Amino acid sequence: MNTMETSTIKMEDYISAISRLFVLSSNKRHQIRDLKINFSDNIGKLALGINNEIYKKINIDIFRSKLIAEILLYERELDCLFSNYSSANIIEDKELEDELFLLKSYIKVEKTYFSDNNLSINDKFKKDLKQKISVSAPTIFAAAKNPDYLHRIEDSDYGDNFFASAVERNVILIYHLAINRENNKLVDIQNVLTFNISKYRNMISNPTRLFLNVLDDYGIDITINNETRRFFKYVKILKENARGDLSLINAENVGKDNFSMQANFMTTEYGAIVKYAYGINSTIYMRE
Site residues for other proteins per CB under 8 A: 11-12, 15-16, 18-19, 22-23, 26, 29-33, 69, 72, 75-76, 78-79, 82-83, 86, 90-91, 96, 99-100, 103-104, 202, 205-206, 209, 212-213, 216
> Which CA distances in Å does 128 have to 137, 155, 166, 248?
12, 28, 20, 21
Q: Which is nearer to other proteins, 142 or 204 (CB)?
A: 204
Cα–chain center distance at 262: 16
Nearest distance from C-beta of residue 217 to other proteins, angstroms: 9
The one-letter amino acid code at 96 reads L
Q: Which is nearer to other proteins, 83 or 250 (CB)?
A: 83
Number of CB atoms found within 10 A of residue 162's CB: 25
Considering Cα of 234, then 237, then 242, then 246, what sign does the dihedral take? Answer: negative
Q: At what angle do helices 42-58 and 11-29 cross, to 10 degrees?
A: 60
Nearest distance from C-beta of residue 71 to other proteins, angstroms: 9
Nearest distance from C-beta of residue 156 to other proteins, angstroms: 21
Which stretch of DSSP H or E encloses residue 261?
strand 259-268
Nearest distance from C-beta of residue 266 to other proteins, angstroms: 28
Nearest distance from C-beta of residue 169 to other proteins, angstroms: 22
Q: Which is nearer to other proteins, 96 or 137 (CB)?
A: 96
Q: Which is nearer to other proteins, 204 or 273 (CB)?
A: 204
Assess contact for 211 and 102: CB atoms under 8 A.
Answer: yes
Which stretch of DSSP H or E encloses residue 218?
helix 207-218
Q: Which is nearer to other proteins, 91 or 286 (CB)?
A: 91
Nearest distance from C-beta of residue 119 to other proteins, angstroms: 27
Q: Which is nearer to other proteins, 46 or 144 (CB)?
A: 46
CA distance linking residue 262 with residue 97, whole number of Å: 19
